[in-house]
Structure 1
């Protein structure tokens, strides 16, 4: 009679699988299966464990985060590419790049090395920039940013946000701006119009190069100036309220509430000053709200109506000018000098709407002639 060891060693893999399935199904006891198959119970348990592990592995849900997507050979060249990507794509600072390499890659690098790596690619980047065709830029924004109190002349394509001009310069006058804009024209730069703030150098250079093109006013800067003025006046008004409350608290502490003549006069003046500043802050806030929502908002009235409202705001600001707060006069002067440029966009919108008017009229006539009153009503509602 063969031993159980000999019988077990002679079983095929398929038969072992069937044996394991019998054990896992639990229809028969392990002892009964071992006796029928003439193998040891230890062998039966071994087949069960093999099958159970295989099942566990097959049905185990691996977390996607634990799956290895790909392996990267991290070399110094790859590290330097990552540095450039973090700075130019992610706009990271030098210190942020150094921290990331230290914390995620356990790689130590100095700020100076990062700076040198960036400088190394500047000539290559300039060469690539000079080869780009700029003829597709139809609307460009021009501005000046500053680094260490030195101007950096900047030009951006409004449609794609591509920065076609980024030059550090000694000055920001007409000649400097004109030189760099002429260089851009050699690459095909010929926009329909540009957008800029009230910088004299930008506007003088634009006029010298493109006398027939419009340089629309940048509404952000004037609205930022107006918002800053509102905050300043609100703080002054709050300060006057605090001063009045302090005087009232001081009077309450006096014996029997007796008020001296000096304190009474101070309290009266405090009330008058508070009332004056609160009204002034509220008036300027309303004027700035009109400026933002009714005059300089993209969707709004015609150019003539906007200009009428602009002149009204300017007149109201002039009435409220005070020697104690020169910000109101500064805003009024800025609006007076820039109103034509700031509202140039509204004039362009009017021209486009006027060009569309014949098509709109013909469309309405075609609907009314067909007798479809419902569609005509919808058109009137939408317009």
Structure 2
């Protein structure tokens, strides 16, 4: 992909509200321009001339894109509020991406009602932020370092009596305790149609996303739980969630979803094209519509209850857990393969042969396998 072409196309949509229709138009236009550019260069045009030709060809698209809803522009009062927010409250506009890396705080994403991005944190010195190149980046500060700095700033005791020393030690302990407490969550209020991508990370906190849909959503918590349940029902391009020991619960629609946890459970409900779910020692459960589904668990159970007859493939694996795959009653042209070394295999699907439209594969070493319609 040519980065300059991508920048030209992205610039056309920079003030356009993001929804399913504009996302589809953006993707189609991007693919067409990239292919046209490659063809021009292959025919002998210089890269500079090819870029100019592409840019000229997009002049007519500006009027077409201008017909779609525009993002809200902050008024003068909003701009003034951005300059002097209350302590622990920051206001931003113009960011198309949000990236967060915290140590132990929870992250909560909520809808914004005024067309601007709001950050709220009840311990302002716990985070730092920068806004550059269309990205708002939020980073958690090192609590140990900050605690040490504040301790050094504490006035040394002038009275070296026992009471004076104990009073100083008490102040130091109080400062250190305040800094080492996890505090409240980082709350991010996001307006619909402004932010295209979010990348949310925390070491030991939970992540909750109940804001508007973005095009790409990536989440990761080392030991916390992740819940994604957007405030609108538009379709994302990509959603990912990863946790070492926390549960993952997803309720949304996306073209692609990739969900992984080591010792937690994974639950997914929604409409997707492609879903990959994996848990080492937890259960994995899918409910909704999907075209292709991969669901794996080493020692947990895996269950897929599929609503749509347009599904084309389900691949389920477990070492010691049970596998259950349920298709809609009128799903036709299905080929199902199931195996278990020491468990029972029950296949209630009429087999249409190895070249059937729908391919189901379920394998476990010591668990039971059930494939049926409902």
Instruction: Pick the TM interval, shorter chain.
Output: under 0.3
TM-score under structure 2 normalisation? 0.21
Higher relative contact order, structure no. (Cα contacts within 8 Å, ≥ 6 residues apart): 2
Normalized per residue, which structure has more strand?
2
Larger Rg: 1
TM-score under structure 1 normalisation? 0.20
